[in-house]
Amino acid sequence: MACLSAGAQVCGMLAAPCESETTPNKLNPKHKNALIEGVKDRADRFMKGFLRGVLWECQETFGAIQERLFLGGRAKLASSAILSSPERGGTMVSLSQICKVYQGQTKVLDHLNFELKRGDFVYLVGGTGAGKSSLLRILATEEAPSSGKLSLFGQDLNQVSPSGLRAIRRMIGYIPQGIQLIPDLSVFDNVALSLSLSGGRAWLSAEARQKTLSTLERLGISSKKERRAGTLSGGEAQRVAVARALVREPELILADEPTGSQDQEHTWSIMDLFLKANLGGTTVVVATHDREIVRRVRKKALTLRNGRISLEENAVMMT
């Protein structure tokens, strides 16, 4: 397994800095101390990165084993007898009396009730602090509501098992406003993680590799596929986050201001991918402040105001 095989490289890599024709015993004390401090610093930095990577890989591998047991070896859930996506027009998301209260604050979300059907495309609009991000985090199962009932894909999240919750999450493509890439991994690997149950590039099938490259190409970032994610601009990182969410072909896309750092060309590249996914039956929820997107792509809008929500058909302008 990745988390075990990676450990085999530790001793050799830590020893590398000391492999020199001039050993510390042949140096004067000043140079000797400098060399020792350099080796210690390199070893410290290596171990921190190594342990972080091993921990992450072990978590991914363990989660993959759980998922395979739960899904009977299937990465997609459409044929699962336990959890399946509804037919087009069937209920995908159901909120009943959902409230969210943060410590020391009034209700951010106040008894929300609404349903989304398979194949819906809706905007989530409202002023700053209206609760759009809070609602998307709840729908993405990253955060629990303070009260109320949330059902996703026919499963009540108050009663779902841990393995069932993990299965639900693999049906969701979530693009948070705060971009959450792994900075030490390449652009390609950040996106490919959505397709690799083992968490390693070597385990990707040829089809998965091609799908990853194709998604990066459509978002204009294929030329940066080997760049470390931590070196990207804000707009580039945002597109990598979009690619990572879409490459798995999720049943539900939740996008929180996905075009906020994009120029016009890349904005419409992202929207085009959302619209094509929607044509294939994917439910799409896009939180946005962009009036031009709402004006040009007429869809329904869920408007948040004072913690309450209302539905507007064929939204034309922001409220």
Same-domain pairing of 52 and 122: no
The answer to whether position 319 is within a domain reads no
The answer to whether position 76 is within a domain reads no
Average pLDDT over residues 204-220: 89
Same-domain pairing of 107 and 222: yes
CATH number of the CATH domain containing 249: 3.40.50.300
Same-domain pairing of 247 and 171: yes
111 exposure class (CB count in 10 Å sphere: 0-12, 13-18, 19+): middle
The answer to whether position 81 is within a domain reads no
The answer to whether position 77 is within a domain reads no
* pLDDT of 187 over the 60 cut: yes
How far is it, in rounded angstroms, from Cα 13 to Cα 20?
14
Same-domain pairing of 204 and 260: yes
Boundary residue ending a domain (71, 101, 120) = 71
Boundary residue ending a domain (43, 71, 99) = 71
How far is it, in rounded angstroms, from Cα 19 to Cα 163?
48
The answer to whether position 33 is within a domain reads yes
What pairs with residue 115 in β-bridges? 94
Same-domain pairing of 163 and 273: yes
The answer to whether position 100 is within a domain reads yes
Q: What local confidence, expressed as pLDDT, does residue 26 receive?
A: 57
Domain count of the fold of the chain: 2
Same-domain pairing of 54 and 105: no
Same-domain pairing of 211 and 299: yes
Q: Do 156 and 93 form a contact (C-beta atoms < 8 A)?
A: no
Same-domain pairing of 44 and 109: no
Most confident segment among 33-42, 72-81, 158-167: 158-167
Same-domain pairing of 67 and 148: no
Per the structure, the complete domain to which residue 296 belongs is given by 91-312
User: Predicted confidence band at 150 (pLDDT cuts at 50, 70, 90)?
Assistant: very high
Give every CB contact of residue 139 below 8 A, 6+ residues apart in sequence: 93, 150, 152, 172, 252, 254, 285
* pLDDT of 295 over the 90 cut: no
Average pLDDT over residues 28-50: 61
| 270: its two tokens | 């992202």
The answer to whether position 79 is within a domain reads no
What digits encode the pLDDT tens for the residues 69-104?
Answer: 444 433 343 334 345 566 666 889 999 999 999 987
Select from 133, 150, 123 the least CA-distant residue to 283: 123
Residue 281 CA from chain centroid, whole number: 20
Boundary residue ending a domain (42, 71, 100) = 71
Most confident segment among 10-19, 62-71, 156-165: 156-165
Same-domain pairing of 255 and 218: yes
Q: What local confidence, expressed as pLDDT, does residue 250 receive?
A: 93
Same-domain pairing of 34 and 127: no
Same-domain pairing of 129 and 15: no
The answer to whether position 103 is within a domain reads yes
